[in-house]
């Protein structure tokens, strides 16, 4: 993929985000696009968003379950930035009009207390860098039409990140084993999913080590204070106007997200679940 194509594709995603109008998958026109191509577009898109005044406050991991990696034919997760403009507090209300085709996932979230610079970071080193463990919700969204995403498409599109909501304050690191944290997820009072921390690479802390190492290969360190979204503990649940989502975590407590009015969004089947 040429530099000109990278810039053009990043600009197309930038415009789709601004206008809330999805675009065709890049992999329709070029099925050979791979992970490296997706990350090249992602970096250019982040540059455009940061130039507008946004900033990176952490990272999200996707494809952290074996089932999702099998679906995309890969043996590794993917990642994207968490932008300051997309972070909400527990109990916040969001509007469907801010998204294109949103879905909600419950996740375990870490806040780093010390920097990590890979490659070569071990899980135990990552564990030592974590300062806080929190309950979180991620709104995943796709600027690609009908969630018809290939791997390069979702990576380019900030790993399909839409927004995040965080409960706080969290637990001090070391006060619990993140692998064993159970979770019950409900929409409008009805349980729609359950999960446990081990769904994320077998140990959510392993996600931190993985991120530190893959970013380190690109010369990007993880910084103290940054958020790490460790991946969905269940299949993503479609989001519509008037919905209320609640995730109840063992040890971490509960987190709530309300959805205001606005246009409805489809609750039909989609390829992108459990990011």
All structural domains of the chain: 3-259 (3.90.850.10)
Task: Output the tens digit of pLDDT for each of the chain's 275 residues.
Answer: 899 999 999 999 999 999 999 999 999 999 999 999 999 999 999 999 999 999 999 999 988 877 666 767 777 889 999 999 999 999 999 999 999 999 999 999 999 999 999 999 999 999 999 999 999 999 999 999 999 999 999 999 999 999 999 998 899 998 999 999 999 999 999 999 999 999 999 999 999 999 999 999 999 999 999 999 999 999 899 999 999 999 999 999 999 999 997 554 433 333 334 55
| Pair of tokens at residue 256 | 């709530």
Say what the pLDDT of residue 68 is: 67
User: Which tokens hold the place of 56?
Assistant: 């990176």
86 vs 97: CA distance, rounded Å: 14
User: So what's the pLDDT on residue 75?
Assistant: 75
* Residue 275 confidence (pLDDT): 56
pTM of the full predicted structure?
0.91
Q: Tokens in use for 124?
A: 């135990």
- The helix/strand/coil state of 138 is strand
How high is the pLDDT of residue 168? Answer: 82
Q: What is the rounded CA–CA span in Å between residue 170 and residue 114?
A: 17
Q: How many CB atoms lie within 10 A of CB 33?
A: 23
**CA dist list (Å): 10 to 98, 178, 204:** 20, 35, 30
Residue given tokens 């018809």 in the structure block: 148
């Amino acid at each position: 993929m040429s530099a000109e194509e990278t810039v053009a594709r990043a600009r197309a995603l930038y415009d789709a985000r601004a206008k809330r109008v999805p675009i065709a998958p890049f992999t329709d026109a070029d099925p050979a696009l791979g992970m490296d191509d997706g990350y090249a577009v992602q970096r250019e898109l982040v540059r455009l968003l940061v130039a507008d005044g946004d900033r990176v406050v952490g990272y999200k991991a996707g494809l952290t379950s074996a089932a999702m990696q099998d679906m995309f034919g890969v043996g590794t997760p993917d990642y994207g930035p968490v932008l300051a403009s997309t972070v909400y507090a527990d109990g916040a209300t969001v509007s469907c009009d801010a998204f294109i085709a949103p879905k909600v996932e419950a996740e375990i979230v870490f806040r780093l207390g010390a920097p990590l610079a890979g490659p070569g970071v071990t899980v135990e080193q990552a564990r030592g860098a974590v300062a806080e463990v929190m309950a979180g919700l991620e709104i995943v969204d796709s600027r690609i039409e009908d969630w018809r995403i290939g791997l390069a498409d979702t990576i380019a599109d900030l790993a399909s990140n839409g927004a995040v909501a965080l409960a706080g304050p969290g637990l001090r690191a070391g006060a619990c084993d993140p692998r064993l944290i159970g979770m019950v997820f409900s929409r409008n009072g009805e349980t729609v999913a359950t999960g446990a921390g081990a769904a994320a690479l077998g140990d959510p802390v392993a996600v931190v080590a993985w991120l530190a190492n893959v970013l380190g290969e690109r010369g990007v360190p993880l910084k103290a204070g940054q958020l790490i979204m460790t991946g969905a503990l269940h299949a993503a649940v479609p989001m519509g106007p008037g919905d209320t989502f609640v995730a109840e975590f063992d040890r971490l407590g509960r987190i709530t997200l309300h959805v205001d009015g606005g246009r409805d969004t489809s609750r039909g089947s989609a390829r992108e679940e459990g990011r």
